[in-house]
Amino acid sequence: MMVMEVKKNNLLFLDGLRGIAAFYVMTGHARWLLWEGHDFYLVNHAKYSLVDKVLMYFFSMFKFGHEFVLFFFVLSGFVIHLKYAKKLKQNSSFSFDKREYFYKRIKRIYPPFIFALLLTALMDYAGNKINPAIYAGNTPYFLINRDIGHPSHAVKTFIGNIFFLYRQYVPTFGTNGPSWSLKYEWWFYLFYPVFLFFGKRNIVYPTIALIVLYCLTIFLPNWPLDIVREIFNGMLAWWLGVLLAEIFMGRINLPFKYVIPACLALSFGLAFKPIFHDLSIALLFSAILSLFLLLTERGNRLRLLVGLKPIGDISYTLYITHFPILVFCSSLLMKHNNGMLPTKSFFIIPGVAICLIAAYCFSFITERPFVRKNAGKLVVAPVENSN
């Protein structure tokens, strides 16, 4: 296999992919926060015009938000490891600069995250003043009551979120539920240097270790630290991106034309066991990313994806700020509709537009000051940047 010299311009399509993923997740959330939902549609379908029904079925395609977060994980693993795979290809004994690594991760993650926590507190406070029912879990909608009702804004919760200890030791802060994936990303970053150390000469060793740890999280229910069990249950999906970076840089001599069917076969085989659902989806997205990398190796610039770069540039801010904004919008709609959400899914469109505009404006203070001007060409994941 010919080793390809990485050119940032060849990988601009990654920004488009992360933009698609962030947009998809946001739209999926808008779907159940700004529209009454399918169960109520079955009751009220006579009130729906043909246009309303077309919109409803169109937006039903955005209900796989959890699965698209796994795409973020694969993309993140690829980009984080890409430059280290290149260094390892040149010199397997290169010195890993831990201080630089963690400084860049902190600089990239924390400014938007802290801003999002403060924004969540503000939006929740304002929304609760307008319509407390949604924040009290007192609506006709099960999903809203379960995932939004009774949010915690305590100082202890805020601090626990800052240290990415939520969902085990403290609740998620306020209504910003989608931040759960950011916790995973942070812990993946913490463990990555350890696995990289043992994979300098051969990436097979840490890969086997992660597979073993993944199996243990499934078959050993009792762990001393539940958060460790949770992280290792998800890190194998992130590590698939690491392996793709190894292949792309030629450290693993395996053409992508063989990687694609292998990932698809494994994904299909695991799909029949619900316990392997997330890994199956991650393998599917690994096949998709492999296809794009194969096209890149063959000289295709993937201009359609590159054209989506503007959304990719704000995708982290979009991902981490959209939910409390949508909850606030949902509270307004229910306030002025007798406690019910609209029967028309049209309201999803302005909700999506508001989140996009807000993320673009916020990005001037949450991302742009902390990312080098020439760093955007290898950025990926809801929080990731390779520089």
- pLDDT tens digits for 168-199? 899 999 999 999 999 999 999 999 999 999 99
Q: Which is nearest to 252 in space by CA: 301, 194, 206?
A: 206
Q: Is 380 helix (H, G, I), strand (E, B) or coil?
A: strand
Residues 6+ apart with CB under 8 A from 287: 259, 260, 261, 263, 264, 267
pLDDT at 222: 79
Structure confidence at residue 373 as a pLDDT band (50, 70, 90): low
Lowest mean pLDDT among 46-50, 279-283, 319-323: 46-50
Lowest mean pLDDT among 35-49, 143-157, 184-198: 35-49
pLDDT at 194: 95
| For residues 96-101, average pLDDT | 93
For tokens 């096949």, the residue is 287
Q: Is the pLDDT of residue 292 over 60?
A: yes
Structure confidence at residue 386 as a pLDDT band (50, 70, 90): very low
pLDDT at 224: 73
Alpha-carbon gap, residue 179 to 172, rounded angstroms: 8
Q: Is the pLDDT of residue 380 over 60?
A: no
Under DSSP, the state recorded for 36 is: -
How many Cα neighbours within 13 Å face the side chain of 387? 12
Ramachandran quadrant class, 48 (left: phi over 0; alpha: psi -120 to 50; beta: rest): beta
Structural domain boundaries of the chain? 8-378
Q: Is the pLDDT of residue 372 over 70?
A: no
Ramachandran quadrant class, 339 (left: phi over 0; alpha: psi -120 to 50; beta: rest): left
pLDDT at 242: 97
Residues 6+ apart with CB under 8 A from 167: 180, 183
pLDDT at 211: 97
| For residues 53-67, average pLDDT | 93
Give me the DSSP letters along 298-336: TT---HHHHTTHHHHHTHHHHHHHHHHHHHHHHHHHHHT
Rounded (10°) angle between helices 65-90 and 180-198? 20
| For residues 70-89, average pLDDT | 95
Residue 99: exposure state from Cβ atoms within 10 A (0-12, 13-18, ≥19): exposed
Structure confidence at residue 384 as a pLDDT band (50, 70, 90): low
Question: Is the Cβ–Cβ distance between 335 and 286 less than 8 Å?
Answer: no
pLDDT at 375: 44
Q: Is 166 helix (H, G, I), strand (E, B) or coil?
A: strand
pLDDT at 257: 96
Q: How many CB atoms lie within 10 A of CB 90?
A: 9
Give me the DSSP letters along 67-99: HHHHHHHHHHHHHHHHHHHHHHHH-TTPPP-HH
| For residues 292-313, average pLDDT | 93
Q: Which pair of tokens denotes residue 178?
A: 């989608």
Q: Is the pLDDT of residue 374 over 90?
A: no
| For residues 335-343, average pLDDT | 93
- pLDDT tens digits for 218-267? 888 777 788 888 999 999 999 999 999 999 999 999 999 999 999 999 99
Q: Is the pLDDT of residue 2 over 50?
A: no
Lowest mean pLDDT among 174-178, 241-245, 339-343, 376-380: 376-380
Number of H helices, E strands in the chain: 17, 0
| For residues 33-45, average pLDDT | 89
pLDDT at 302: 93
Under DSSP, the state recorded for 171 is: P
Question: Is the Cβ–Cβ distance between 182 and 383 less than 8 Å?
Answer: yes
